[in-house]
Each structure stands twice: as C-alpha cells, then as structure tokens.
Chain A
Amino acid sequence: VNGLSLGSIYGLIALGYTMVYGILRLINFAHGDVYMVGAYAGYYFSAYLRGDEPSFFRAGLVMVASVAVCAVLGLLIERLAYRPVRSASKMTSLITAIGVSLLLENLGQLVFGATPQSVRSPAPSFSFRLGEVTVKSADLTIFVVSLLVAGFLYVLVMKTKTGIAMRAVSYNLDAAKLMGVPTDRVIAFTFALGSGFAAVAGVLVGMAIPQIHPLMGIMYGLKAFVAAVLGGIGDIWGALLGGLLIGLAETFVVAYGSPTYRDAIAFAILILLLLFRPQGILGRPVREKV
C-alpha cells in the first residue's frame, strides 16, 4: 500500500515530465522543484484555511489554489527561461533547466526556511481494513486522484482540439506552426498543465508523508523522470505505470533488503530496461532517420 501511494506520487510527477519531454524533447529538471513549491503552497493554504473541522471541501480548495500557484509558476518558467533558449542546442536548454531547478531550490530555502515543516492535512483522515491490510484514506486518495488525473489528461490529449494541437506540436513543431497551430501557446499550456499536476502531487504527498522541505524535489523529480522513461516517454499511462513500478520496487527493497539501496533500485531497473527495450514498456520504437 505504501508502494502504491508512493508510486502514484511518482506517476503524477512523471506525467508532467512526459508531457514536456513529449513536446519539447527537454528534460525539465525544474519539474521536481515545482512539485516542492506545490507542496509548500498546500502547506500554507491549509494553514490559512484551517477551520475547526477538516473537510473534503476545504481540501479541495487547498488543492485548487496550489494548482493555480504552480500553473502560474510553470508559465513563468517557460516564458522567462525556456523560450529564449528553445532554438539553442539541447545542452544549453538542459543547463538552463538545471539553473531553474537550482534557483527554485535555493529560493525555496531562502523563503520557506531550510528546516522541514510538518503538514496538517486539511482532509479528514480515516482508515479501513481490506482483508489483511489497513488502507489509510491518504493512500487511497492519492491512488484515486492520480488515476483521475491521468484519465483527465488522456481525454484532454486524445479528444479535444487542444490535445490535437499538443500532439501536432510534439510530432513536428515547425510543421505544426506552418499549419497555423499557435505553438507558443500550446507549449505554455503544456507547462501550466504539467506544473499543475506537480502541485496535485505536492499537496497529496503532504497528506501522506507529513513532512516537506525545500530540497525534497530533487530525488522525487529524478525518480519521476526515471518512471516516465520506464513507462515509455510521451505515454500517459506509461508514466503512471512506471511510477507505480518504481514505488513498489523501492518499498520492497526497503522492506526486504537494505534501505541504503533504495535510491539505487530505480536506476538499476531503468538501466536494465533501457538495455533491452529502449523505448520503455508502453512506448513505440522510433525509427532512425539519416
């Protein structure tokens, strides 16, 4: 159960990676830090809105507010940092992404303070038994919400006009531009959406693991990216599946092996997979063009 909820968090963050990578072929290193900002936004909003009784309504409000904050942050990052270097080499945009990531981490330490904060969940918590295991409400919420978000994204990408535009940009940016797709707006929208998902993950993680700190985004972000690659980058369900796999694997390693190997297991799985199936579990192989 721990593995499932941890994996859902990875999956939610991985969705943002997979969208941005799918469209721009850019590893958005700052994504994990947007998730951190989301967690802090959740922390401050739930402190601000604290009433006498925790309620689902208030939890929803906190969620919406945090998502809004992160979506704006995502837009800003895209507009100020990534757009100027979009035509430059890949290395340049990657370093820019790392720069943004460093900026958010250090700004986070400056503004939020370097000490970890503990979160009081705004949602009512309960637990029930399912056969042998006890399921906590937070874990259940995380799992269900991540499924809902992935479903929402799937419908958005596959069934709406915006989704068609996103897929067109992902397939060929220049051709899409020639066909009259407002590429800048589509890319900005993708960033806002991905950052919003990161905020969802941030708020949820505050409920399940009630401790947040400014550097939490680094490891989560990295493993979420691994999850996105694992599932097949650019694939929505692949991201979620990859996240769940890594979450479960980590939990098993901690439970049955040595906890110090925890950080290595995600990479070990990734390396094995890439050697045998470089396109990921659900990805399609890409033909190489000369």
Chain B
Amino acid sequence: MRRLLPLLGIAVACALLSLLAEGVLVPGVSLPRSLLYPMRIVTLAGINIILAVSLNLINGFTGQFSIGHAGFMAIGAYGAAWVAMTFGAVVRGAVDFLPAFASDTVLLVVCLAVGALLSALGGLLVGIPSLRLRGDYLAIVTLGFGEIIRVFILNIDTVGGARGYVGIPNLVGFGWVYFTAAATLIVVHNIVHSSFGRTLLAVREDEIAAGAMGVNTTRAKVISFVISSSMAGIAGGLFAFYDGYLHTNEFTFIKSIEIVIMIVIGGLGSSLGSVVGGALYIVLTELLRPVDQYGSGLRMVVFSLALILIMIFRPQGLLGSIDFHALRRRRDDKKTVLAGRP
C-alpha cells in the first residue's frame, strides 16, 4: 500500500486541479478560452493512456497480441451512453436528494460500470474461443472481432446507427479522466505484482513451460483479456461523456492499431512506457499540425516516417523495459547510501 501512495497522490491532485479548472471550487472562475484546445488534447491524451495501459496488460504483460481493442472501447462507449440516455432520469430520480454535482457523479459511475461490465462480457465471449490461437492468428482474429463489433453497433438503430449517437450528456472533464487513468495504473500495477501477475508473465515468457508447471494458461489469458477489455470499456465510456457524440467510424481497426502503436513506441510491458506512448502519440500528431501548411496530409507522412525510424533505431520502444519501479529503485538506492548500509 505504501508503494501506491504516490499514485493516489497524483489522483487526488488531478481531481483537485480539474475541480479548480472547471470552476467548481472557486465559482465563477473558469479556464480562459485560449486554454480550451490544449485542455482537450491533454484530456484525450488521458483517455489514450487508459487505453494503452489496459492493452499493455494483455499485449505487454501476457504476451498475447490483440489488435481489437477499439471494439471493446466501442462497447463500453455505446453501453455507457445508452444507459445514460435511457435510464439517466431514473438514476437521477433515485438520488435527487443529492446536489447536482453528486448526482452527476452517481450517474457517471453507474454508466461507466455498466459499460465496463458489457465490455468485460464482450471480452469473455471473444476471448474464450480466440485465445486458443496464438501469434499472428490471434492478432487477425481479434482484429476481425473488433470490426464485427463495430459493424453490429452500426446496425443497432437505437444507438443512432450510421447517423451517430447524439445528445450524450457531458459529464466528464480533465479530472475524471486522469483520476481513472491513475486508478487504471494502480490496478494494472497490482495485478502485475500479484501472484496472478507472475502467472501472466510466465505465460508470456514460455506458454508451454508455464503449462507444464501447472498454470492453466487459457484461464490466465482469458482473465487478463477480460480485465483489459473492461478497462477499454471504461475509457470508451469516458470518451462518450467527454465528447457527447459517438460514431462507429471512431472505432475502426485503425483506432486499435493506434493503441498498439502507443504501447510499442512506449515500450511493451512497461506501464510507464504506455503512459508516455499514449500521451506522446496525440501530442506528436498535434504538434506536427503546422507542417500541414506545406501540403495537406504532410503531417501524417512525417508522423509515419518518425514511427518507422523509431522502430528501426529503438525497436524495444522509447523506454524499453524501464517502468515505474525503476524510478523508485534509483531513489531507494540513494536512501541506502545515505543510511550507510551496504
């Protein structure tokens, strides 16, 4: 628990910062307009971080290559939005004794929970059959499931179909996103450092040997997949309540690939790497925007070149295997030196 205090501190700081920014703590004071665009980028970066950290659990720590993450994000987004649109009034009615801010929170938590549950269910249904496959076959099957999920949502008319889903309440800002991101990090950190986490690492290093040691590899993989999917669902829900508009074109396999790119440029199997990758991806694409004035689309050309170069010269990702614990170890080393112990 002591080890998690810094993360919790970050979470609380995020929450306070956002309350301040949205003028809840100090009424009447809100952000200047010039900061709205950077705020949006930073918030979307937070959603990316949740997606990357959760995908890293299955791709980086369990070693199962999944490229269908956008599908689970879509389930969570549409599920949460649908609950808010259909039962929003009911939920608010049940807690109408609370102030508006608190009832918003209750509604948000309920919707996100339902979205996460639906995504977890989706993850279970997809995971059980497909996790028997490995390597590239698993990749292509998860990709296929991701696309199938998207096409099915596209054909459900109650959530807007091809018109997109409009009128979703805006319940989420900067603070919620980063609070959730910190929570995701804590959960993934705890999983990886638990005995179940050791099981996952064993499956990653050598599935056959792990099986021979008595690990139920399929069960471990499916559980990890389900947890990862539910987190993607939460990220999707946050996105829905942040943007207020959903369209299935947001959740194509290109989005899945973007998330894979984030974790690979950050460094597979490193939560810190996922955070850096998730943030860097969107910041880099936005910073390159001025390049577009020399020719529309030049930005993405530069971006893809950068991606190829990173892969050629730094194939283990920007951070490699450096993770949060590495930072801490350095500090611990200092402490031992100061204490004069060997």
Contacts and interface: CB of A to CB of B under 8 A. Distances in A.
Question: Which size bracket describes the interface of B in this complex?
Answer: 35 or more
Given A264-B152, A275-B129, A27 B136 contact: yes
B208 A290 contact: yes
B295 interface: yes
B140 to A, nearest CB: 6
Contacts of A222: 143, 253
B36 interface: no
Contacts of A106: 297-298, 300-301, 304
Interface string A74-114: 00000001001100111111111011101101110110001
**Chain A's interface: helix, strand, loop or mixed, by majority?**
helix
A17 B265 CA distance: 25
Q: A89, A96, A288: which has the most chain B beta carbons within 10 Å?
A: A96
Interface string B143-171: 11101100110110000001000000000
Interface stretch (A7-15, A136-144, A162-170, A266-274): A266-274
Interface in B38-81: 59, 65
Given A92-B315, A264-B147, A290-B208, A229 B304 contact: no
A270 B133 CA distance: 13
Interface size classification for chain A: 35 or more
B141 A91 contact: no
A288 B208 contact: yes
Interface in A130-171: none
A92 B311 contact: yes
A139 B311 CA distance: 41
Contacts of A43: none
A98 B296 CA distance: 21
A274 B151 CA distance: 20
Given A92-B316, A114-B297, A267-B143, 17 more contacts: A27-B140, A85-B311, A88-B311, A91-B65, A95-B264, A99-B305, A102-B304, A103-B308, A110-B297, A114-B296, A218-B254, A258-B155, A261-B155, A263-B147, A267-B148, A271-B148, A274-B133
Return the 7 tightest CB-CB contacts between A and B, nearest first: A267-B144, A102-B304, A88-B315, A99-B307, A103-B304, A106-B300, A264-B151
Interface of B: 59, 65, 129-130, 132-133, 135-137, 139-141, 143-145, 147-148, 151-152, 154-155, 162, 208, 253-254, 257, 260-261, 264-265, 268, 295-298, 300-301, 303-305, 307-308, 311-312, 315-316
